[in-house]
Structure 1
Amino acid sequence: MTRIDIPEGSLFGVANLPYGVFSAPGTEPRVGVRVGDSVVDLAVALGDDVFARPSLNAFMAQGYDRWVEVRSRITELVTGEVPDEAVFGVGDVRLHLPVEVADYVDFYASEHHASNLGRLFRPDAAPLMPNWKHLPVGYHGRAGTVVVSGTDIVRPCGQRKAPDEDAPTFGECRRLDIEAELGFLVGTPSPLGTPVSIADFPRRVFGAVLVNDWSARDIQAWEYVPLGPFLGKSFATSVSPWVVPLLALEAARVPTPAQDPEPLPYLTEREPWGLDVDLSVTWNGQEVSRPPYREMYWSPAQMLAHLTVNGASTRTGDLYASGTISGPEKDQRGAFIELTWGGREPVTVNGEARSFLLDGDEVVISATAPGTRGRIGFGEVRGRILPAR
């Protein structure tokens, strides 16, 4: 038997216990939980075949009461002794996409981000569109191109037309960008025709991951009118391998910023579901931004309520993301188009003036939040740019 050592100040103590899917040499992918610098094989440790699967979907579908029960069992287990054959060093395993993504929706929930882009693209008009403070704006993304952290990102190709060009051309993206986001995973599905209320949010959503919604800004700029993002977004979205349970985020709950005008009744929160999560964005090893999730105008509970208010169903494994997380300060902007003001104000990265991503660049997004005992971590979502094909 093994007693797991949790280093002092670890972001992965018993207040966190994030789930992931891992494989060790000679084993198939299966569900584990991270504890300190170890990964515990839950199929072996708990003797439950629901964890001997290559995704979290079957476990998530068992619902809220089961999530609470298993979390309690894991806490008891890892504070005692764990079977030797169930414990692996985190550096000795390979991490996989933690869920089979059923659907993917991306929101646009930061007032700072939306206002900055409004000022960039519509300098002579109001920064926000008239509907923005009445509903969480979003678009339907592509589930099949959601990839796990560490997956290389091939520079996309498509149509693009610069303002000084007479006609569009086809070629590789010239303004490749990131978006630092938080994503939420639906565990308990909802049937067609039945909206999910804000009060039901914690019983429906299993946990949260970090998201990098890679964005081809030149392709996006040419295509997005009138129907919104398409090829400029659909080529890749990266997520972190560890899923932080919503149950671990109770201590991180905060009110959203003041919402004015008051939202319609189906979007009115009686209990706060803003989250005090601090993100960090590094570009080729240098930190360039620290986006604060607590500044997000719309909460994840409001996003889910709006997503389903028309009767749209949800499925186990649905992923919906917050949209770019940005704060009021320049060094809190979660996309490079904002950080460099459309490329007109480059930032210095390792001694070079930079605006958008070049081949070979690597971006890492990490995050922490308050836990019941110290801070808890989300791990990281990492991606490196490869040349277009």
Structure 2
Amino acid sequence: LQIKSICDCDWFQFDCKNTLNDQLLENVSVELEPASDCTDWRVVTTIPLASLPYGKPGTTYCLVAIPPDGAVTAMFGATLKFRVRDVDPTTGEPDGDDYYDDSFVLEEVEVSVADHVHPVQRANFAAGWEQLGEDNELDETFALSTLHTLQDAVRELMKCLGMGPCERSDRVPEGKSAHTLLLAGVFRGGHDVLAKARLALDPADQTVTLNLVVRSDNEAVSAAITGAIVGVILLLIASLCVAAYASTECVWATGRVVCHKNQTLVLGTVVELFDLDGPPKGRLVYDHIDPDDKMGFTTVDNVEGYFNVEGCADDFDWLPGIKNRPEVYIRVHHYCNSPKGEFLKVLPTFRVFVPRTYDHHIRFPIELD
């Protein structure tokens, strides 16, 4: 069982219970491993449970730092690790000093948009809606083809977004073919967020259409809430398109990084290749549910700053006959300007790599300061 508490970091609480009366479990912890596309999420520390006797509950914790780029979704592999001592089933006392280490693979742990939202109820939704204004409003329409009643749609929306219903709008009157769900919440960081979900049931095929309008005091928060619905839709599309073709692109890039104030600071710089999966500039919704794919990386190990990095990526060809080729860029994590480190995104000077090599940054080094 995992209970997630979201602030600048994610606290994962794992409640455990020993069901074996002839064993004492010690140093119990859950080790989390970010999925391959969630490597920017960093496990900070684990607080193990010192002792877990038979029949008694206990708790262990894991602290994970949220990426600085504002990502809100992630998947983690989870492994329960512990030390086993054989004990007398009657007294619970250890038989001796012998023990052995053991582990057990758990289900994957998911961080969703809903984990970043605290549901609230607004007594006067209309006033709050006007107060937030249209500056950070997002308006999207979706076809929820897997839902066939308005009440099911209301339930799934509340679960997906993690927001609370207002003015009893979570109850759909019987016989209605249209309904408006009013939702309110507080996003991580104290950002107020409100949503109007206008639902309509098509009597012909019994499918639901959703018009979702989100307002917040922060544009990225509005995008994250809307992106939660986009994520569900994309998962459905992916499940229907398992036979789709994919376009693969491989890139080998060479170049040089320069820190004018102190060239020795380039040592340890990480140069990464990414495939751009996000939308054009200004569209934030898809960034949260379809983050850019890391193709490869290298670490600069010479004071001159030279690097070689290579990798491959593939993107689904969603439309027959139209190639959806990966779009590649470079991201640099360096310490030229601060001991805390910072990221620098470097877009290519051209989009077609022939013959899939890129040496522009030999003649034009990447300047870090």
Q: Report TM bin, short chain.
A: under 0.3
More strand by share: 2
Q: If you compute each CA radius of gyration, which structure gives the higher value, 1 or 2?
A: 2
Q: Identify the structure with bigger relative contact order (alpha carbons < 8 Å, sequence gap 6+).
A: 1
Q: Name the structure where helix makes up a greater proportion of residues.
A: 1
Q: TM-score, normalised by structure 1?
A: 0.21
